[in-house]
Structure 1
């Protein structure tokens, strides 16, 4: 009898071990899917309740993975989700979120809730979002990403490549050069950098005058400049020609899609609960 009991315990132990392994495997697969397919995950979550979405983001493998999903949610859904998450996660997640997208999400809140969300962030991230919210909604300033990594004209190709490998943002197209006063000095296409000798200074790779838009330029002017030049990114300058940000074509498209969704919902009178179930795009 004792021998049979020992056998049962050993079998039960193996079954539990297999179940644990299966559970760990499923968790690993879920983490990988969240990391590599944020668009599909966001589309699915736009049809779920904010509570379900908040739960999934809280269980994401990293704040960066959660941010990838947050950026792709309906902005109004994303704003509701933020109010359900704890301060530590919100701070880490928004720090990894494109500031333009973060501003669109927080900007849709009423003033009191907007201030409450901004106080949850670290000072630098909150200031970036406030600056973006201060620009007219349809201006280049509101659409730009203020996180720019420009280079000096004397920087060599080797030095530039070493620094570029640390960039989180991979949609570059070109890199931008600034003079000592912070003014835009030129742009170098990535193709030029890839084929140049390592010791070549970036100033030798500048081709023509740099194309840019003024920080208060309208969305129409931005779209026209992107289309005419057929570039993926466009530098934004202030009244003194100082580089203050960059507009990415992908961000412009995402903003247009989000606004179209919100406009349709408002036009047909969709309520708060129904918006949480709406599909983007």
Structure 2
């Protein structure tokens, strides 16, 4: 079939032009080459496709039947080629991203907006979850890539850091007095603490750091939403651990105040994760290039 495809294309052009010479001009071939292609096709199919006359050629009954199907088949091939070109030019396709609510709202949104503006034909599917859930999405093939709190240690995943973040403690007006001088972890942990749930990667990172210093967490509130964390702190229900870069508006407005620690928590990063063993789509590659 593959060997005959060029013959079918030539046959289709001859059928449309009703002339070997006109078909040859359109195909940038010699008239002899066009004629030989049709003869070979007729031999392959063991039928006569054209009536040859001094004025040109006309299709036989068999030729008419073949031309109906060839026209349809070549049309489908042309559509398929156009679709492939659209994929290559990022005019169509889908990009599935796993990301948590906090990173999505406070970090990822501008990148999503820009990508959608540049490539409106790419369907964006956002899968929400914790870092653990996002890694499961990636490994199961449900997500092309994930934007996660690092560190992530998975040998099957490629991890690309893309933003440095700083964990800090903040308070509302009621506790503002403790922001006047740096305080120790021992003093801090005696205060009413508000943290995200234990399954949060941010919570696990800070908790692991404090445990290395010999301290155990015992929060009065454990919340599933970063926005709630900020609001609970704002109305003085306790002191919370937040990401400084995601809390700038609250700090700049004076709704919350940063507590100075004698020993700052080490900075960490947000990163892009994807499977090493699965080639990225062109859309995924472009999105990663945009974020880097």
The structure with the greater share of residues assigned to helix is 1
Q: Which protein has greater RCO, CA pairs closer than 8 Å, 6+ apart?
A: 2
Looking at CA atoms only, which structure, 1 or 2, has the larger radius of gyration? Answer: 2
The structure with the greater share of residues assigned to strand is 2
Using the size of structure 1 for normalisation, the TM-score is 0.26
